[in-house]
Amino acid sequence: MKIHIDLDCFFVSAQRTLDSSLLHKAVAVGGRSDTHIFSKNSKDQGVNFVNAGSFVSTFYQNYEKRGDDLQNFIDADGRIRGILTTASYEARKYGIKTAMSINEALKLCPHLIIKSPNMALYQELSHKLHLFLQEQLPLVEQASIDEFYGDITGWIADEDVPAFIDSLRHKIQKKLNLPVSIGAANTRYIAKLATGEAKPFGCKTIYPWNFDEFVNPLHVSKFSGIGRAMMQKLQEVQITTLGELRKRKGTLQSWGPYAKELYKRVNGESDAHISLKSERKSIGISRSFDPVFERHELKRRVLILSRHLLFAIQKLKVIPTTFSLTIGYEYQQKSHISLIKRKEFCEKEFKDFCIALFHEADKQKRLHVSSLSIIASDFTHICHRELSLLEMEDDKKLHHLTKQAQKIREKYGLGALKWGSEI
């Protein structure tokens, strides 16, 4: 059998491990694009290269404070900005949901406690849970920062699975002070569905004999992999439950390969192996902000993003070969440019390259810009460069300076060394 382990309200639960006064209270963790990165006095930038998941970026602002952090979401004009990344079950009773604006949430629940995200804490606890699960299970896959899959086929007898997963969730609670819910089934997709129905702090096992009884009544929106477009198609043909979907095999098959696979997953006919490790395929940094028109300020922000991105590239010891820069304009306009560069950059070359990407991507110069994104992908570990003797000496000096700058930033923080044009 496969099992799916999901941390309940993880970000809130993690905050409660530091501050017990948050227990049994309506608490939510806010999310707002970290524009502190562009501050000329920016410091305390955190960085993470593992366990990334939904709402978790590689670079973030460190916050460590007890109590309510609402002031961190109030801008210079006194407006409360940001959305919620998660909310406690006590908060959900008031109708508060993930991705709701903080303003709207406070109207529904005025006594709601808002916490700033503490990414370093989330990463630490997620990593500890992963290590613990590796001691408890023969095969473990980390799907995101708060989600894990395990394969216990042939290791735990099917009839013993309910007792095993019940014991496992209590062990995790005792070891890490974190509540989890666990689902078990013959496929990972049905196990995940079971977890959703077991929450909060519950467990549920689905066998072939209770499969129809469990799956058929559930709304199609509860099945992972049914997005907005598929949901609309299902609504158009009056399919609202998973049981109705299972009866419409011909309809699903006529919609193409993805719908065919979806049908097999819902029917418990398709599964995927537990993957012990997946290689990172890209690294990027993006930020949304209040609209900015001045191009010199936008270039300054590109420089800051490039400095952070180069730090990550060097830390990962990879050589990206494809670079993409995306500009988000007002009126939901976007511009994107991708270039292939099979070379290893020193810091100066990389910042110049990113500025060149920005100039090429900026097609709507009359519009304000509200977001910037730079992504490096298609990694290699080999780099071929043909240089003259003079170029080789200059190249060595530049790369030496880049390595020394990297050491300083790793020791003293990302803000320890900046380009003068950033300030």
Predicted local confidence at residue 78, as pLDDT: 84
Which is nearest to 381 in space by CA: 335, 317, 285?
317
d(CA 233, CA 60) in angstroms, rounded, equals 38
Predicted local confidence at residue 389, as pLDDT: 43
Neighbours of 412 (CB within 10 A): 11
Please provide residue 7's backbone torsions phi and psi, each rounded to the nearest 5 degrees.
Answer: -70, 130
Q: What is the location of CATH 3.30.70.270 in the chain?
A: 123-266
CATH number of 9-118: 2.40.160.150, 3.40.50.150, 3.40.1360.10, 3.40.1170.60? 3.40.1170.60
Q: What is the DSSP letter of 209?
A: G
Query: For the chain, what is the radius of gyration of the CA atoms?
Result: 24
pLDDT in tens, 191-205: 999 999 999 999 999
Name which CATH class applies to 282-422: alpha beta
d(CA 21, CA 5) in angstroms, rounded, equals 26
Predicted local confidence at residue 337, as pLDDT: 92
Predicted local confidence at residue 68, as pLDDT: 77
Which is nearest to 368 in space by CA: 421, 327, 415?
327
Per-residue burial over 134-166, b if 16 or more Cβ lie within 10 Å, else e, is: eeebebbbbbbbbbbbbbbeeebeeeebeebbe
Tell which phi-psi region holds residue 317, choosing left (phi > 0), alpha (psi between -120 and 50) or beta.
left
Per-residue burial over 194-213, b if 16 or more Cβ lie within 10 Å, else e, is: bbbebbebbbbbbeeeeeee
Predicted local confidence at residue 383, as pLDDT: 53
Q: What angle do CA 91, 94, 98 make, to 5 degrees?
A: 60
Asked whether the beta carbons of 14 and 23 are under 8 A apart, the reply is no
Predicted local confidence at residue 65, as pLDDT: 61
Within 332-378, where are the H helices? 347-361
123-266: in CATH 3.60.15.10: no
Q: Which residue has the tokens 């609402």?
A: 70
Q: What is the location of CATH 3.30.1490.100 in the chain?
A: 282-422
Q: What angle do CA 268, 137, 192 make, to 5 degrees?
A: 30
d(CA 273, CA 186) in angstroms, rounded, equals 12
d(CA 117, CA 29) in angstroms, rounded, equals 6
d(CA 85, CA 76) in angstroms, rounded, equals 23
Q: What is the location of CATH 3.40.1170.60 in the chain?
A: 9-118
Asked whether the beta carbons of 383 and 321 are under 8 A apart, the reply is no
d(CA 21, CA 14) in angstroms, rounded, equals 13
Which is nearest to 171 in space by CA: 139, 194, 137?
137
Residue 390, amino acid: L
d(CA 178, CA 34) in angstroms, rounded, equals 27
Strands (E), 2-160: 2-7, 27-31, 45-47, 59-61, 83-87, 113-115, 139-144, 147-151
- Residue 367 burial by CB count (10 A; 0-12/13-18/19+): exposed, middle or buried? middle
Spans of the chain below 50 pLDDT: 52-55, 384-392
d(CA 353, CA 358) in angstroms, rounded, equals 9
Predicted local confidence at residue 284, as pLDDT: 86
Predicted local confidence at residue 265, as pLDDT: 96
